[in-house]
């Protein structure tokens, strides 16, 4: 199997997994940088992630323009992917989600912070992108390269960025890492809200604790990925 075929299969698996885990529903998407060309990325055509197959994967340049004369309808928010790939050469995969548990943190002054080891990647923070700052009144979507670039700038060197009134993005150095971060950002948001609701002071992971678990996690990431693939990826 060529590298490209394997990457496309993993991208299809990521779509199914994220839908299966409830990170994506009829909306949201996941991309991967092209394994042979750093200036191209792969993303499904405009389709619910749970329905994505190999044949639905399109190739885009970093302006998020479809390649090879592909006339199929792309996602409206594809500019998220191109602009983050441009600004973050270390990023291989990007998930964009509207998962409900994260949205409150994009709308309130309470920052999303790592409440347990699984979300230690949040240790550097998850900044909130306020689209009104540069673009005034919009429908909240990232519809062009300028909006995508501003979002990528807000992401900075972090693993996740929240979009006020909209959702969030998680990035990773591989498809499994981006999927892991998208899922556990959502779980963290749920747990953090529960801890806050209990009242009293909430203790988050220290930066050093989170950094140490980050190192550990690199060695065990294959385990949840293997489980999720077995449960949700197409069997053919
Ligand atoms: Zn969106």
Q: DSSP character for 126?
A: -
For residue 182 the two structure tokens come to: 């998208």
Mean pLDDT value across residues 25-39: 97
Determine the pLDDT at residue 236. 76
- Average pLDDT value over all residues in the chain: 97
Confidence of residue 21 (pLDDT cuts 50, 70, 90): very high
Residue 53 CB-half CA count within 13 A: 3
Going from the Cα of 97 to the center of ligand 1, the distance in angstroms, rounded, reads: 6
Going from the Cα of 212 to the center of ligand 1, the distance in angstroms, rounded, reads: 32
Determine the pLDDT at residue 2. 81
CB proximity list for 157: less than 8 A, separation 6 or greater: 88, 124
Q: DSSP character for 45?
A: B
pTM: 0.97
The answer to whether the beta carbons of residues 123 and 208 sit under 8 Å apart is: no
Among residues 77, 130, 208, 209, which one is catalytic? 77
Mean pLDDT value across residues 50-68: 98
Give pLDDT tens digits for 153-189: 999 999 999 999 999 999 999 999 999 999 999 999 9
Confidence of residue 78 (pLDDT cuts 50, 70, 90): very high
Q: Known catalytic residue: 215?
A: no
Write a three-state SS string for 159-225. CEEEECCCEEEEEECCHHHHHHHHHHHHHHHHHHHHHHHHCCCCCCCCHHHHHHHHHHHHHHCHHHH
Give pLDDT tens digits for 112-154: 999 999 999 999 999 999 999 999 999 999 999 999 999 999 9
Going from the Cα of 47 to the center of ligand 1, the distance in angstroms, rounded, reads: 13
Going from the Cα of 141 to the center of ligand 1, the distance in angstroms, rounded, reads: 6
């Amino acid at each position: 199997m060529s590298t490209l075929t394997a990457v496309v299969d993993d991208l299809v698996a990521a779509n199914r997994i994220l839908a299966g885990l409830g990170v994506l529903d009829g909306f949201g998407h996941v991309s991967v940088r092209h394994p042979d060309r750093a200036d191209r990325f792969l993303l499904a055509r405009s389709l619910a992630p749970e329905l994505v197959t190999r044949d639905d994967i399109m190739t885009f340049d970093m302006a998020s323009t479809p390649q090879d004369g592909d006339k199929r309808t792309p996602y409206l928010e594809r500019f998220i992917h191109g602009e983050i790939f441009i600004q973050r050469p270390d990023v291989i995969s990007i998930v964009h989600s509207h998962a409900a548990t994260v949205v409150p943190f994009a709308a309130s002054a309470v920052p999303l912070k790592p409440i347990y080891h699984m979300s230690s990647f949040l240790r550097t923070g998850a900044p909130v992108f306020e689209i009104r700052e540069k673009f005034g009144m919009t429908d909240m979507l990232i519809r062009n390269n300028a909006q995508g670039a501003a979002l990528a700038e807000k992401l900075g060197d972090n693993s996740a960025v929240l979009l006020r009134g909209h959702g969030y993005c998680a990035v990773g150095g591989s498809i499994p890492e981006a999927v892991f971060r998208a899922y556990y950002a959502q779980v963290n948001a749920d747990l953090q809200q529960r801890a806050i609701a209990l009242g009293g002071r909430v203790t988050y992971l220290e930066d050093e604790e989170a950094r140490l678990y980050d190192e550990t996690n690199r060695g065990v990431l294959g385990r949840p990925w293997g489980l999720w693939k077995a449960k949700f990826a197409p069997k053919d």
